[in-house]
Amino acid sequence: MPHRKTALRLVAPVAVLALALTACGGGDDDTGADAKADGTAESAAASPSPSQPVSGGDMARGESATGKVAEDPGEVTYDVVAQKVEVGTEAEAAKAVADAADAKGKVLATAHIQYTHKSGPALTEGSDVHDGTTVFADGQRGGVLIGASEDAPGCEDPYDVESWKQGESHVFCETYVIPAGATSVEVHWSEEDGEPYIWKFPQK
């Protein structure tokens, strides 16, 4: 069964990448606040392991979240942590997209996320764990740049990982186009239909 992003990845030119715009606003940026209003924060605080929120929530720098993903061989549990976000310049963004006008007033933000296979069957044909990752800037979801992250230093191509056993970790990256001058960049990761775990990276 092909992975969900494979078709998009194949149509992206090698030299110039197409900007796939996503809707701003949306439900993802509100879910954290709604969860807290519904008492999720209190439930997490009462958990025997407060470093592992029950269902989403704000994460400390370097703190890992645990979630399950339905992979092709079966359900796999992962530890996930957003390591860093590298923010580029407007000039770099203009060169990366097919139409430079799409990048006016925008910059590239590349999030580095480490995924560790914690339990479940070994994978032999890639993983869908990175599909749950998005990047927000000042509360608004950015526009994903298809195919940009595989060549970034320190980033692996998830489609090249054909053997993934328990205990092994891989760093996959996601590149988004965000407004220049954003004061806060957030990396969100969630299980399917789950609340997002959120790592915040303040910008100077």
In a domain, 185, yes or no: yes
Range of the domain at 33: 6-46+69-202
Q: What pLDDT is attached to residue 130?
A: 94
In a domain, 53, yes or no: no
We report the CATH number of the domain holding residue 39 as 2.60.40
The pLDDT of 15-31, averaged and rounded, is 43
Top pLDDT among 22 and 160 is at: 160
Dump strand ranges (E) for the chain.
Answer: 19-20, 57-59, 65-70, 75-87, 106-119, 133-137, 140-141, 143-145, 169-179, 184-189, 197-202
Q: Return all residues near 39 (Cβ < 8 A) that are at least 6 apart.
A: none
* Average pLDDT of every residue of the chain: 79
- pLDDT tens-digit profile of 96-126? 888 888 889 999 999 999 999 999 999 998 8
In a domain, 31, yes or no: yes
In a domain, 52, yes or no: no
Residue 26, pLDDT above cutoff 60: no
Q: Return all residues near 148 (Cβ < 8 A) that are at least 6 apart.
A: 17, 96, 108, 110, 175
In a domain, 40, yes or no: yes
The pLDDT of 31-36, averaged and rounded, is 40
In a domain, 56, yes or no: no
- pLDDT tens-digit profile of 115-160? 999 999 999 988 999 999 999 999 999 999 887 766 678 999 888 8
Number of folded domains that form the chain? 1
- pLDDT tens-digit profile of 42-92? 433 444 444 444 579 999 999 999 999 999 899 999 999 999 999 999 999
Q: Over 55-90, what HEC string results?
A: CCEEECCCCCEEEEEECCCCEEEEEEEEEEEEECCH
In a domain, 196, yes or no: yes
In a domain, 54, yes or no: no
Strands 184-189 and 197-202, how do they pair?
antiparallel
